[in-house]
Structure formats: structure tokens, C-alpha cells
Chains A and B, each alone.
Chain A
């Protein structure tokens, strides 16, 4: 076992982690621990753009962007945080340009902008061009640019180090972060990182669904690590289903395709979004479009022999426009479906895409241990966190924005905090939990297989807690997850070695997914209303009287060792916008 000491430790090297690292490395001795090489992160899969009211191509301002974000989140957004997001968006984009990001340009050389779902002029009048983009690989360009600047700043990376535990030490009755425990994939060695400040930027948890745009590696490791230590998770019932995933595969096809003029059609060729969202049509918010697609499918207007998908039609757009603005997604259609998007529409279905919920933080990225108390030394940013700027449904292009605005904030806040404090003593035997977890899995002779349990989990999540939910379906999921958690105790792995043991890694990841799936389902069961990405057929309306509040889920362990989830609630911060009926 090795022990390292750093002022600031960042967990994860996607957009949020690297944006934080650029700031914290300038200010403090920083280590970035990442289970993948930095440029492998799923930020690189983001396509359409990053929202900012630059007003380069038409009138726009940050207040309209704030409103759209609040409305898009079905009023569950903390409005103070949304205002920061929209205001700081402008500098966040300009900072990236100065770091070298090759945005697409307007004829006069400024950053070009395009339309995106839910972003509107003057509080919903019409779509507005707010998304700053680099073809349909904006996330790739952000990830590359941030990595390039990490190289420039000399950021210290520990590649293929998998953080398995958060260390918390009680000092004078206050629980403080004292570091993390990591597993080095290449050698199987355990490392303790003692740190004055820890920032989680480890991304989402979409892999508990089967049809998902998420990478295999998005298994909620950060959320699970802090949750196991008794810290809450906020709004986990809110998960975004992106309308346009490749049929059956879930690979993302950007909303920018509709921003460029693409149209959704049912089997009759009808542009069905006109019925559901007369003003914004195909560019209504993602939750609305995903529900509309499934409504079409359920009412028998889906396409194909099984009627289980609809079409994304780009055939009316000039091939030059597709080549210039949407080269990657058109290539995906050719590679994976054998379809030529110039002439044929693309079969799509909603795909599990983004966790609105996560580790609760304030606007400085400080992690909360209840509705108001900060955990000294602990920070989170990006998809792993819940600020909450996305509320019940995130707008497209607001996540690339979120990682830059709140990654930067967390990086600065953590490094500055590290300057004001001494190291917190590590708990006694800090690696105890990780050592026993690994040894248990490595020596288990149980007869359950990781792949089998994961498949069953993904199938129950797709069937029961996806776009449409009811008390009955959620209960089915809760029971199934409980069964899988029980069976997980008998999981064994075939690779008993220490070197690059990805068999072991997948077993640990499955444990994280099971913990988080349970939190999601239990939180969803208790929210007896429909709001944003959480749609209850048995409670189809939003209920502001009883549910205009954030869910806070805590893990509790009884004296006899039994685990349970305790739900509490946190008020929503409302400043200028009163909840209204949401129409697009």
C-alpha cells in the first residue's frame, strides 16, 4: 500500500475534472485520479454544443437562458444556481476559445451558434440560436482542448487509478474529508491519497439501463462512494431519456440534427411533434419529445415490423449541410445501421442519457451532508453532482456548460480551501473497506455471474423506470433490485490476478450500479407526481403543493446491519420565476 499527500485530489478526468484541474493546479499541488486515460472520458461523446447567450447571430441574453433552464427543469431548478450558469456561460465559452477550442465560425469570424431544444427567445417565443458548437463533436473538442491545457499546465495524472472509497474523519464532532482510496489497475496495488480537498468529477451512472448513450464505464462510482459513507444523493429519480438514440443500440444522435432542421416522423410520415409542441415542435425539451415518441409507438404509429421506433428524417437537408454540420452522426448511421442519411431516414428510439440528480452541492461545488451543512474539504462537479441547475430535466447544451462553469468553480474553491487548512488525519486503517471488498470478490466461490446480474438489472430498469413509470412498475423494479443485491453477495469472478483485472473492476462497478438503481427506484416511488424526466402515469400532473422540493436519499444501516434508504426533502431555491404550466 502506498500513501500519497496532495493539497487537492480530483476524481475523474472528463470535462469537469480537467476544467477543475486547470484551476487547482495553478493554485495548489493537485493529483487527478482517473480510471480511464483522460481523453477516453464520455465528455468526448457529447455532440451538439454548449449554450451561452453570446448573441453572435441574433438577439439573446443570459436572463432568457436562465428562464429556459428553469422552465426546462420543470421548475425544480435552484434558480440562483441557474442564474450563475447562464451568466458565467459567456466567459466559459470565451475561455475555451482562448484555450484553443476550434469552434465553428460565422462569416465575420465570431463563434457560430445554432438552435437547440428548449432554448428560446424572450421566454418561449421561438427557438433561438444559443448553442456554440464545433460541428457535431463539440464534446470531443472540449475534452481535447481541456486535456491540451492540462498538458500545458503540467497537471499530474494518475491514469487507470480507480477510486473505491471516500475517507471521512470526524474532528471535534465535524465530519471532514480526509482523502480517498484508489486501486491501481495495472498492478492491483492499493493507494491512499491524503488530501486537504477532494473533488468528485467522475460522471454519470447510465449503465444501469440497457438502451443508453452512456459508455460502459459510466457506473456511478463517485456517487456510490460518498453514498456508502452516509452522505445523501439528491433527485436521483430524475433521469433524462434522450429522444434520438440509434434504434436498439442507444448511440446518441445529437439534438443538433433537429437544430439543423431534422424532423421526427412516425410510420405514416407525419411530423408528429406538431401535435405535442406547436411552437417548438421537434425542438421541445427532451422529456417532452421522448414521451411523444413513446406515445406514438404505444398508439401504433411506430415504424418497422415491430412498430418499436420512429424516424429521424434528415433527407430534406442538403448533403453539404450534413457533411459540414453533422458529419459524425451521419457516419454513425452508415457504420452501425448501413443507412445513408442523405436519402433514408434514421430509425431512432429514446435512450437513457443523463442523471439530473447526484451528489448535492452548493454553487461553490461544496458537497452537502444534509440540506445546508457543508462537508469540509469535499467537492463535486459535473454529472456526478446536483447543484441543481438541471432540476427535473436538463436542456441540451447545458451539460457541456455545467462542467465548465462548475468544474472551474469547484477547482478554484477546493484549491483555495486547501490553502487555509492543514491535512485532516486519516481514519485508522483507511484501506480496510477496500481491502475487504477486493478480497471478498477475488476469493468468492459463489455461483452468480456479474454479466448475468447486470443484464437483469438493465432489463428491469428499461422495463420499469424508463420514460413511463407507475407505482406498479417501480415496485417491480424495487423488488427485482433487492433480489439482485442479495444475489450480488454470491458473485464470483474468474480472474484472480492482480494485473489489469478488469473482471474485478466490472464486479465492483456492478455493486455501484445496484446501490444507485435502488436509490433511483425508491426516490421515484415516493414522488407521486409527474415532473420533467420523471413521468408517473398514475400521477400525470405536476404537484407543486406537495412535490416542489428536492429528494434527499440517505443510506442507513441498522444495529443489526440491515441497510435501508431514508428519504428527506430539500426546498427549491426560487428567485425570479414563479412556476407556470410548461408548454412548448
Chain B
């Protein structure tokens, strides 16, 4: 067990209960108060190893209780707190202050392409509707359900592993320029979730899903800008998954 490195980490941790001063520059919007969105600056003392979410909490809890955002698990699993931080889509709970240059103001805005309801809260319904439209559930044509589990080889299981990681946070979809310009596009997250079933050896509705994505608002709208792949907090190769769906549409093999 290699303790020396760790002792260093811990010594740093203990010594660096040092706080730094950072500015959060937050896009505020509350239609109960004003029809216009404005930027508002907050200065706070924070440990650079803390999360952006911790900073938002400090503001809400100690400075301004009206600041509104969604969050729950605080460690990148529930998908509640996708937002634009310094111009990039990230989860506030997975972004540490020290990793985003705290010397300059940290800008925080709602994700783009979805209607802003208040501060950092957007209307997620269109996002979930696109998800529902791709039939995101296993479809089989078995007349007799097996009594035990269906068999699936480890290789077949691995084939769609990457796209099972999706937490529906919308970081990918709301980073996509095509989605910004045209809310009709299904968006990367819906395609990722279609991919998860199209490439599952147990599923028998791949053709149906491909036809849905063959629609004029489907996969062909993708311009492979890779914003989605960069934005995904789960490290899913989103653009690759979309390309695999496109290829399956051409070859009808999956």
C-alpha cells in the first residue's frame, strides 16, 4: 500500500482548510419580479476543493434565499443540477471550484434550449417527451416468457454498456447547437436512450426505433459537433452512439 503519496494528499487537505474568495456571477430570472433576466454577482469564501454546488448552497443559505436551482444527490448520480458553468454544461455537484479557475468570476447560467422558469430552473418536460418518444423500454415478442432470466453473453451485454450510464440530466441535449435552433430535434439524450435498446440483444423493436429516429427531426440532424460528448458528466461517448445509430439506419444491422 502506497501511503507516502496519500500522506501528502491528506497533509494538503488538512493544511488547506484555507478559504479563497471567489465571485459567482449568476444569471437570475424571476418573472414574479421582472420580465428580464439579469446577472448578479455574489462574493463568498470557499474551500477550492468544494463543489460549485456547495458555492450555490452558501449563497442560498447565507446570502440570498431566493436563489433557485434543482439538486438532490450532490455527487453526480441523480442528474438534477446540470447548468452552464463558465459557458460549459456541467453538473454543479461534479465540478470543483479549483478546476474552473477561481481567480476569475465563475459564471453560472441555466442550460440552453429549454424555457427558463426561475433562475437556474428550466422546463424539463420537452426533454422527457423526446425521451418517451423513442420507446425507452425493452420490447420483446416472446409468446412464452422464459421462467428464468433471458440469457445474454457478457459481450452482448458490453455492446450497449456505455449508453446505460445516462442519468437524463440534459447536459448533452442542451449543449447541442441543432437543439438550440430547433426544439423539434430529438436531441442526443433521446438518441442515447434509443441506442441503449437498439443494441441490446434481448430487444426486438430496433427497427421501430430506427424508423422513429429516421424522422426529419431524428439522427440526421446531428452535425457531429461533439458538444454532447464533451458535456456528458457520465463520460458517455454520445456522438459515437449517434453515429452507430446512423450506421444502423444505413446497414440495417445492429
Complex contact B80–A105 (CB within 8 A) = no
Q: Number of A residues whose C-beta is below 8 Å from B?
A: 73
Sample of 7 further A-B pairs with CB below 8 A, known A102-B200, A105-B152, A140-B77: A45-B75, A103-B149, A217-B72, A304-B10, A304-B14, A338-B9, A347-B10
- The interface residues of chain B lying within 8 Å CB-to-CB of A39 are 78-79, 167-168
**Contact of B62 with A by CB under 8 A:** yes
**Contact of A380 with B by CB under 8 A:** no
Q: Using an 8 Å CB-CB cutoff, how does the interface string of A108-146 with B read, 1 for contact, 0 for none?
A: 111100000000000000000000001101001100100
- The interface residues of chain A lying within 8 Å CB-to-CB of B75 are 45, 249, 251, 332, 336
The 9 listed contacts between A and B (C-beta, < 8 Å) are: A41-B78, A44-B78, A100-B197, A104-B154, A105-B157, A152-B137, A186-B117, A251-B74, A500-B68
How far apart are A352's CB and chain B's nearest CB, in angstroms?
A: 14
User: Known contacts being A94-B149, A105-B153, A186-B117, is A315 close to B2, with CB within 8 Å?
Assistant: yes
Q: Which of B3, B14, B96, B166 contacts A345 (CB 8 A)?
A: B3
Q: CA separation between A93 and B70, bound complex, in Å?
A: 32
Complex contact B1–A110 (CB within 8 A) = no
Q: Which of A98, A144, A152, A335 contacts B164 (CB 8 A)?
A: A144
- The interface residues of chain A lying within 8 Å CB-to-CB of B161 are 102, 135
Complex contact A151–B79 (CB within 8 A) = no
User: Known contacts being A140-B167, A451-B62, is A344 close to B2, with CB within 8 Å?
Assistant: yes
Complex contact B11–A216 (CB within 8 A) = no
Interface residues of B in 119-152 (CB under 8 A from A): 119, 121, 124, 128, 131-132, 136-138, 145-146, 148-152
Most A Cβ at <10 Å: residue of B94, B132, B152, B160: B152
- The interface residues of chain A lying within 8 Å CB-to-CB of B166 are 144
Q: Number of B residues whose C-beta is below 8 Å from A?
A: 67
Complex contact B72–A215 (CB within 8 A) = yes
- The interface residues of chain A lying within 8 Å CB-to-CB of B78 are 36, 39-42, 44-45, 215
**Contact of A379 with B by CB under 8 A:** no
Q: Which residue of chain A lies nearest to B64 when distances are taken between CB atoms in the complex?
A: A494
Complex contact B1–A37 (CB within 8 A) = no
- The interface residues of chain B lying within 8 Å CB-to-CB of A557 are none
User: Known contacts being A102-B160, A104-B157, is A499 close to B138, with CB within 8 Å?
Assistant: no
Most A Cβ at <10 Å: residue of B10, B13, B71, B78: B78
Q: CA separation between A141 and B161, bound complex, in Å?
A: 11
Interface of A toward B, CB cutoff 8 Å: 36-37, 39-42, 44-45, 93-94, 97-100, 102-111, 134-135, 137, 140-141, 144, 148-149, 151-152, 186, 215-217, 249, 251, 265, 269, 303-306, 311, 313, 315, 328, 332, 335-339, 343-345, 347, 449-451, 493-495, 497-503
Complex contact B200–A100 (CB within 8 A) = yes
Complex contact A337–B9 (CB within 8 A) = yes
Q: CA separation between A338 and B148, bound complex, in Å?
A: 43
Q: Which residue of chain B lies nearest to A98 when distances are taken between CB atoms in the complex?
A: B145
- The interface residues of chain B lying within 8 Å CB-to-CB of A313 are 1
Q: Which of A44, A141, A498 contacts B32 (CB 8 A)?
A: A498
How far apart are B185's CB and chain A's nearest CB, in angstroms?
A: 20
Complex contact B65–A151 (CB within 8 A) = no
Q: Using an 8 Å CB-CB cutoff, how does the interface string of B159-184 with A read, 1 for contact, 0 for none?
A: 01100111110000000000000000
Complex contact B14–A305 (CB within 8 A) = yes
**Contact of B187 with A by CB under 8 A:** no
Complex contact B72–A500 (CB within 8 A) = no
Q: CA separation between A422 and B99, bound complex, in Å?
A: 59
- The interface residues of chain A lying within 8 Å CB-to-CB of B164 are 102, 134, 141, 144
How far apart are A347's CB and chain B's nearest CB, in angstroms?
A: 7
Q: CA separation between A277 and B155, bound complex, in Å?
A: 38
User: Known contacts being A97-B150, A109-B152, is A503 close to B66, with CB within 8 Å?
Assistant: yes
Q: CA separation between A500 and B60, bound complex, in Å?
A: 14
Interface residues of B in 75-99 (CB under 8 A from A): 75-80, 94, 96
User: Known contacts being A107-B154, A306-B14, A344-B6, is A45 close to B73, with CB within 8 Å?
Assistant: yes
Complex contact A500–B65 (CB within 8 A) = no
